[in-house]
Structure 1
């Protein structure tokens, strides 16, 4: 009994002392985590308590009241953001926002821009090493050529290429190797639709080294259209070619699916985005030679 009293006495003192302490109100912004989660809702609801319906179209903003820039003015500010960086490593990127539905076919294609953006593109060609296609691929500038050794390297996580092309005779072996779960999420899996499963690998390699792949994601198509050292005229030519290709892709999808260009935004690798108004230059724009090179 004495032992029990010895342990209960300190406990009673703690309870008594706690009850005699002055009660200090905690600030309203400090609350237990469980209270925060108690009122959390998994489904967005409207004012009347009903679940909000998902909008069929992507959200669009009225650009008439927005601050927009000419191409030369946007380049002027972006070059200031990239001051001190290499003009070949930094890229101009264009983000084209489409007025389109959330569900449906997306635009996905490749383009060979008039002025090549990347010169360090590494191309992999899947074909039998001793075939004629392998020799043509190496002569065209392919960096990796092979079949079984390429499969093993990819499965081991050694993906040292930016574009993957497959010869039609190696398509069955590639599918049997199960590379789709590895290359698919990275956008590197060859497919007939994307024009990367071909008979003439030499022509495809040359086009790929000077080409770029683009894909619509959440109603926006993004593509690198030039290096920081490009002139405004070169950038304008690439941008016009890309917009023309995008309109052609949208028209070829279906007459029942409408895809219109809502906004064109120009940015760089480390810079912000500038909404373009469609003009080349303004009265206050610097000379084009000052926006070229270093």
Structure 2
């Protein structure tokens, strides 16, 4: 058997030639991501990475929506409410949102005339009503690059501000396709344990399956919608490719096979 000079050179120097490990079921990946020795000294975030057979540059193949994680994302969300509705503003503040100005006009004036951007410091999301968008349109150059511009598809432009704030506080995440058809979603923290991470991951996968565009090239050609899947931790302590069949809610192998996690309390995951 012929071997390349490069292979022989590395072998003579004592290096191990590593091969890419095969994909594992999603249950195994979630179990190991919770039990592997921590790489960092903080509670790492778990990220689900999906490669879909979509081309967002073409009409009908872009995916953008939000989903509420049943057990939260493990992150504290700072929500800024900009509305002229006094009752909804007060209710939103009682839920933990911030609303530093009595009227939306005051907020816009401070930003545009006084160039005071401190109102957006540390803010993760801005929520407003449809009627208020006419005031925020001029702030596109400021809010756009920060990813804070309210969007009806993400539920941040709504008449029910109280519900939107409540969902954000519970752990609402955005599902959005990148230019290459990839989707990266936070599904929780390592400390949550297998059961909670499993429910969060299932909520994300089911929302993507329900929002699946009918125009995708893979869907049309019969190649499938789910191309590749990975799960990893923030600092890369554990990262593994996942068997695509086990992340497809329409597949008989969905969340089947492989290891089944056990939480810290000793109870098996549901």
Q: Same fold (TM over 0.5)?
A: yes
Within the candidate set 196, 200, 209, 1:247 is matched to 209
Match of 1:118 among 53, 69, 74: 74
Native 8 Å contact 1:95 1:222 kept in 2: yes
Secondary structure of the 2:154 match is coil
Alignment of 1:1-294 (within 5 A): 67-74=22-29, 75-76=31-32, 79-80=35-36, 82-83=38-39, 85-87=41-43, 90-101=44-55, 103-104=57-58, 105-128=61-84, 131-146=86-101, 147-151=104-108, 152-153=110-111, 155-158=115-118, 159=120, 160-175=122-137, 178-210=138-170, 211-217=172-178, 218-250=180-212, 253-255=213-215, 260-271=225-236, 273-277=239-243, 278=246, 279=255, 282=258, 285=259, 288-289=262-263
SS of the equivalent of 2:94 reads helix
- What secondary structure sits across from 1:184 in the alignment? helix
- Cα deviation code 1:8-52 (max 9, x no counterpart): xxxxxxxxxxxxxxxxxxxxxxxxxxxxxxxxxxxxxxxxxxxxx
**Take 1:93 and 1:100, find their aligned partners in 2: how far apart are those partners?**
20
Greater than 6 Å deviation, 4+ residue runs? none
Aligned CA distance change for structure 1 residues 192 and 287 (closer, same or farther; 3 Å): closer
Residue 98 of structure 1: how far off its partner (Å) = 0.2
The answer to whether the 8 Å contact 2:54/2:216 transfers is no
Post-superposition offset of 1:102: 5.7
CA distance in 1, matches of 2:201, 2:41: 23
CA distance in 2, matches of 1:241, 1:287: 18
TM-score (norm 1): 0.65
TM-score (norm 2): 0.70
Residue matched to 1:17: none
Q: CA RMSD in A?
A: 2.8
Residue-pair matches, total: 219
Deviations 1:227-274 (A, max 9, x none): 111221221211111111101111xx4457655111221011111531
1:170 to 1:263, Cα distance in 2 relative to 1, 3 A: same
SS in 2 for 1:144: coil
Please give the per-residue CA displacement for 1:105-139, whole angstroms capped at 9, x wherever unaligned.
311100011111134100011113x7222112212
Q: In structure 1, list runs of 5 or more residues that go unmatched.
A: 1-64
